[in-house]
Amino acid sequence: MSKNGAAPEPLLEVDDLHVEFRTRDGVAKVLNGVSYSVAAGETLAVLGESGSGKSVTANTVMGILPVPPGEITSGAIRYRGEELLTASDERRRELRGENIAMIFQDALSALNPVYTVGFQIGEQLRTRRGMSRRDAEKRAVELLDQVGIPGATQRVRNYPHEFSGGMRQRAMIAMSLALDPDVLIADEPTTALDVTVQAQIMDLLSDIQAERHMGLILITHDLGVVAEVADRIAVMYAGRIVENADVHELYGNPCHPYTRSLLESIPRLDSKGTELRAIKGLPPNLTNIPSGCPFHPRCPMAVDRCREVVPPLEVLPGGRSSACLFAEELVSA
């Protein structure tokens, strides 16, 4: 909230975004009306199982959605009020990295194996800022040091395969910060890292976000990873946002059965010896999404009406929102 009590102006807005993929098996409706926003200094976590549309949304925001097979059928993406989907390719390139940056899921695949880490970080400084190779390397050393890589002066000339998984992820963070973006999208930044390194990476992102007052979007399938760093959480299922709430509200009293099921599947220290509750069934095939609420085949609360009505994402008391016919009942539970 701002000083006058109003919500801060969003840096980035995704509004009713629809994306389809043409496949051999038919048209996959990958995004079905996704809407969320992030403001300066705010951390939004986007959660959901694999295939829910989290990364496709991020790629569409960045302007790197593969077309074909992907196609944006409707919706809007705005950066500081500027519509991006109708912007020219040149304008999108100007914004990419400079204003909106992304940390990709697999650092080893994202980094070029034949160039040093320092060269790759410095490349955008040379092309965008006009720096000399020496000055760009010097700045790369500063960025590597900022993200906690020891001996940055020597490591700047190492190749990606000479870094550990955690160090490669830190190098990716350094690369994404090189041009001081307003919005940073981190797509599964802790994938394949051990628990200790996961915590270090999340703490690093949180510290950098607070220091630079960026808007930070964390994409993950792990509710435990973002519990201490997120301000708000948007939960995705079958290409839709099914719940959007303050982190404390969502963890304290989730108002969508899918969110509740996700939370119940996490191991807890206070439930030693009890069996974990897995979510029954599998996420839907996006070429054949069930009628009505897409979660109803797996939902313990489903009734006949859930098979017929697609519940809209409605705002509940307190400002949170949920796409469930029982949302008001759940919020008061």
What pLDDT, in 10s, does the model give residues 145-183? Answer: 989 899 999 999 999 999 998 899 899 999 999 999 999
Higher pLDDT, 196 or 138: 138
What pLDDT, in 10s, does the model give residues 200-226? Answer: 888 888 888 888 899 999 998 878 778
If DSSP codes are grouped into helix, strand and coil, which group holds residue 149? coil
Element (H, E) at 264: helix 257-264
Q: Residue for token digits 């404390």?
A: 248
- Over residues 56-79, mean pLDDT: 94
What pLDDT sits at residue 3?
Answer: 43
Q: How confident is the model at residue 142 (pLDDT cuts 50, 70, 90)?
A: very high
Element (H, E) at 207: helix 195-212
Say which CATH topology domain 10-99+181-268+276-331 has. Answer: Rossmann fold (3.40.50)
What pLDDT, in 10s, does the model give residues 87-122? Answer: 999 999 999 989 999 998 888 888 999 999 999 999
What pLDDT, in 10s, does the model give residues 242-297? Answer: 999 999 999 989 999 999 998 888 776 666 667 777 888 899 999 999 999 999 99
User: Cα separation of 27 and 200, whole Å?
Assistant: 40
C-alpha triplet 146, 149, 151: angle, nearest 5°: 110
User: Cα separation of 104 and 160, whole Å?
Assistant: 15
C-alpha triplet 279, 222, 111: angle, nearest 5°: 130
User: Cα separation of 242 and 314, whole Å?
Assistant: 9
- Computed over every residue of the chain, the mean pLDDT equals 90
What pLDDT, in 10s, does the model give residues 31-47? Answer: 999 999 999 999 999 99
Q: Within a 10 A sphere around the Cβ of 148, how many other Cβ atoms?
A: 17
Q: How is the chain split into domains, by residue range?
A: 10-99+181-268+276-331
Tokens of 116: 């040093």
- Over residues 1-23, mean pLDDT: 79
Q: How confident is the model at residue 4 (pLDDT cuts 50, 70, 90)?
A: very low
Q: Within a 10 A sphere around the Cβ of 142, how many other Cβ atoms?
A: 14
In Å, how far are 64, 156, 291 from 295, measured between CA atoms? 29, 48, 10
What pLDDT sits at residue 271?
Answer: 64
CA dihedral (211, 215, 221, 224) positive or negative: positive
What pLDDT sits at residue 255?
Answer: 93
